[in-house]
Structure 1
Amino acid sequence: MAVPQFQHLAGRVWVCPGDPDPEAVQAGVAVVADERGSVLIDAGQSPTHAREIQAALTAAGLPQPRWLVYTHHHWDHVWGACAWPGVEIVGHETAVPLLRTEAARPWSHHYLDEQVRANPRLGPSFRARARAMDSWADFAVLPPTRTFADVDELPVGVGLRHVGGGHAPDSTIVLVPDSGVMLLGDCYYPPPAHLRRPDDGLDLVLVRRLLQDDYLWYVSSHAEPMTAEQARSAVETT
């Protein structure tokens, strides 16, 4: 696995890709760098991953975050949150009960094994969780502390918009208009593998609704950033 590194995308936006191996289930993260307080988009898939991201921030000379935005509640986007002290966690209001339920589960390698035996369809996700977690000491699943219903804007000009969709009910996109960047999370992906039906696919109708002339970059969590031209081509030819 490569050491995480931040790459400048445009304006204030830097991206740190996740692991390209799909079995790792490691989402990328992004940061909107601002001297008034940076915004981190997603927390990393584990405390270890979060600490690697922190080291990558330092190596790139980027400010530490003041806000942590969840694009949605899935584990590979939020399990690193407990390793980010002092940040305000921001997410859609529907994430709160979902993550409170997750927080109450007795997470451990033994528990993960039990769950996979009971439901083998959980295998890819839960085995990836087991690999990601070196230790369960001090681990906690953290719900957002600042929530919104439809739209929100952080004091540094970063916008949040709830879009929902089949992948997760709380899916949120992050808008950085001064940099021409839209961060999509996993919003147009099909449901997680253990919930997916044979006819579930990418929600290109949602993507078409999101495309705007004044955004030059579209970034999802498990793929390379797309230019506006690439994004339009993808939805027009599929």
Structure 2
Amino acid sequence: MRLKKISERIYYLPAEEETDRPILGYIKGDKYSLAVDAGNSSKHVEKFYNELRNANLRLPDYTVITHWHWDHTFGMHAVSGKTISGHLTNEKLKEVATWGWSDDNMKDRLEKGKDIEMCDRCIKIEYSNRGDITVITSDIEFSGTLKIDLGGICCEIIEVNAPHSVDSVLIYIPEEKTIFIGDADCEDHYDNDGKYDKYKLKNYIELIKGFDFNIYMIGHGEPESKESILSYLESEFKNIK
């Protein structure tokens, strides 16, 4: 996968299905740069950084985490600059940092519902040596909202109790009319059996309607327009029984 350019300010490394690697976003300011998510391993981070170097882009000064799931956080120890997460994400990462990664450990978590089969399978592919797994908390923790001026462009970072995970974080760039949402609009595979919570989805749709954006950056897909994503989410809402 090669780095893709949305605008002079916005880039992203596309998702990779085999080990469930999400997109990694990049926002270029005049003074600082900011990445969205840390990927699922140090190898994922290095691939991203090689693409940034090839495009003559500086490495990120900040990396914002969209939620605690492994594919967005297991590369945190390998990023440049400072990492930023919501307080609920950090709380969960403290727990995950205590997990063991032997076959027995992973099997036990599956049986107890603390992890899910897809993550279990993809972790085993991404990590030939699970001793390489390193889980850390972020350098900077916030609650509610946080605004960062990168120079000529600002990022508004917002905690959201979204359908996918209660610790979801959105990154909105008003000047570019672009929003990165991680996996916020997906079903909940940990606490709701891979289904949508109707109340959460309704609230999320109303929240998204309030942002002025043209480009909607999804964690495991290609960019969407505001019209297309709202049409999809409203259709999903209508299908919930």
> TM-score under structure 2 normalisation?
0.85
Correspondence list, 1:181-192, <5 A? 181-192=178-189
Cα 1:221–1:210 change in 2 (3 A) is same
Paired with 2:29 and 2:158, the residues of 1 have a C-alpha distance of 20
> TM-score under structure 1 normalisation?
0.86
Cα 1:121–1:103 change in 2 (3 A) is closer
Paired with 1:69 and 1:213, the residues of 2 have a C-alpha distance of 19
- Residue 82 of structure 1 aligns with which residue? 77
Paired with 1:100 and 1:145, the residues of 2 have a C-alpha distance of 13
Cα 1:236–1:100 change in 2 (3 A) is closer
- Residue 44 of structure 2 aligns with which residue? 49
- Residue 167 of structure 1 aligns with which residue? 164
- Residue 60 of structure 1 aligns with which residue? 55
For the Cα contact (< 8 Å) 2:147–2:157, is it kept in 1? yes
Paired with 1:57 and 1:134, the residues of 2 have a C-alpha distance of 26
Q: What is the count of residue pairs matched by the alignment?
A: 231
Of residues 61, 67, 70, the one that matches 1:72 is 67
The alpha-carbon deviation at position 121 of structure 1 amounts to 7.1
For the Cα contact (< 8 Å) 1:188–1:204, is it kept in 2? no
Where does the alignment leave 5 or more consecutive residues of structure 1 unmatched? none
Cα 1:122–1:209 change in 2 (3 A) is closer
Of residues 15, 22, 26, the one that matches 1:31 is 26
Does 2:124 correspond to 1:130? yes
Of residues 2, 13, 24, the one that matches 2:10 is 13
Q: SS in structure 1 opposite 2:181? A: strand
The alpha-carbon deviation at position 74 of structure 1 amounts to 0.7
Please, what is the CA RMSD of the aligned residues? 2.5
Of residues 166, 190, 196, the one that matches 1:200 is 196
Cα 1:111–1:8 change in 2 (3 A) is same
Where does the alignment leave 5 or more consecutive residues of structure 2 unmatched? 237-241
Q: Percent identity?
A: 19
